């Protein structure tokens, strides 16, 4: 089996390493030729993973035709809002029958489509050919081969198990399931909650506040997921609670870091410039709210994050707005 990873950012490069360490031959495609050359000849991605020595078996190229030639697994690791254009360009080159794997944790602006839905729409492939990887995936730690676990999901069990075998290493333990909807929503909503946690940290709020945001953020995620057909158990697992805790707790999280910049009084443009890498929660909050309103699901933390990012709510008022909501039972809504 041959794998191709399209996108040489921190997570794409790291997942390519995981595949190599699992014994799966990999070609990593980088948009920038200098990044491909650095990986192939220097065994390092100096822009995204400086200091990490990559496997000698990892091949990198900036030639998309060569990268996709003969691939059995095509792994997509590009920003969510660029995926449609990328697929339109790459579609004719994707080998028939290959399993398409999304590492992307976001929702498309304008359509509110999950990444698996977008892949199926643009490439015209069935559900059984689209899989996702989600979980506590802080790239730097996994690139350093620290132990981590994740979820690989596909509606087709055989495809999920195939992907599991392709990326199972002594330090990266993938579990499989068939709940693609739950895994994708978990991976998306946790980024928005991490923005809220970052704001709280910058405002000097403590661990009680962070625990409250994480727990109530999980409730928002689960309410939306259940009404959209996800398995509620997914949100108690690695693609739900696991990813949420890691993203909200770690200074390595770009979404939490973006939230901290907002909490320090910077506007969205300034925070984006300082974060340097894509914080998917910043573009995904709008389509997530669109889905929530469509399905009549309350997502108050997401609403407040949206208001802060858009400039409609002063960041210093965010906690007060959440605290002023009417008292409710802990379990309510759909």
Return the pLDDT at 4: 98
Sign, Cα dihedral of 180, 181, 184, 190: negative
Return the pLDDT at 320: 86
Return the pLDDT at 276: 78
Return the pLDDT at 332: 65
Is 105 part of the annotated catalytic residue set? Answer: no
Q: What is the pLDDT along the chain (334 residues), one digit of tens a residue?
A: 999 999 999 999 999 999 999 999 999 999 999 999 999 999 999 999 999 999 999 999 999 999 999 999 999 999 999 999 999 999 999 999 999 999 999 999 999 999 999 999 999 999 999 999 999 999 999 999 999 999 999 999 999 999 999 999 999 999 999 999 999 999 999 999 999 999 999 999 999 999 999 999 999 999 999 999 999 999 999 999 999 999 999 988 999 999 999 999 998 889 988 987 888 888 999 999 999 999 999 999 999 999 999 989 998 888 888 877 777 777 766 5
Distance CA 334, CA 332 (A): 7
Question: From the candidates 105, 113, 190, 210, which is the catalytic residue?
Answer: 190
Write down the pTM of the prediction. 0.94
Return the pLDDT at 46: 95
């Amino acid at each position: 089996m041959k794998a191709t990873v399209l996108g040489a950012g921190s997570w794409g490069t790291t997942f390519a390493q995981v595949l190599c360490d699992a014994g799966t031959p990999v070609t990593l495609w980088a948009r920038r030729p200098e990044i491909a050359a650095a990986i192939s000849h220097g065994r390092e991605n100096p822009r995204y993973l400086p200091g990490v020595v990559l496997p000698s078996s990892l091949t990198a190229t900036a030639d998309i035709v060569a990268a996709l030639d003969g691939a059995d697994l095509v792994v997509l690791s590009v920003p969510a809002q660029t995926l449609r254009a990328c697929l339109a360009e790459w579609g004719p080159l994707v080998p028939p029958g290959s399993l398409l794997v999304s590492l992307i944790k976001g929702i498309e602006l304008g359509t509110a489509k999950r990444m698996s839905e977008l892949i199926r729409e643009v490439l015209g492939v069935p559900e059984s050919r689209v899989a996702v990887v989600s979980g506590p995936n802080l790239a730097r730690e996994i690139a350093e081969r620290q132990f981590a676990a994740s979820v690989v999901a596909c509606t087709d069990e055989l495809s999920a198990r195939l992907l599991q075998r392709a990326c199972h290493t002594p330090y990266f333990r993938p579990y499989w399931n068939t709940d693609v909807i739950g895994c994708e929503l978990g991976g998306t909503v946790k980024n928005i909650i991490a923005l809220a946690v970052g704001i709280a940290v910058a405002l000097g709020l403590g661990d009680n506040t962070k625990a409250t945001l994480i727990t109530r953020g999980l409730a928002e995620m689960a309410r939306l997921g259940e009404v959209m057909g996800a398995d509620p158990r997914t949100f108690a697992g690695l693609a739900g609670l696991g990813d949420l805790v890691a993203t909200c707790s770690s200074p390595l999280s770009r979404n939490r870091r973006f939230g901290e910049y907002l909490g320090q009084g910077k506007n969205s443009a300034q925070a984006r410039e300082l974060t340097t890498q894509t914080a998917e929660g910043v573009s995904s909050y709008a389509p997530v709210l669109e889905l929530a309103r469509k399905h009549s699901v309350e997502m108050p933390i997401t609403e407040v994050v949206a208001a802060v990012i858009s400039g409609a709510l002063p960041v210093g008022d965010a906690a007060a707005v959440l605290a002023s909501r009417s008292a409710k039972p802990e379990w309510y809504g759909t």
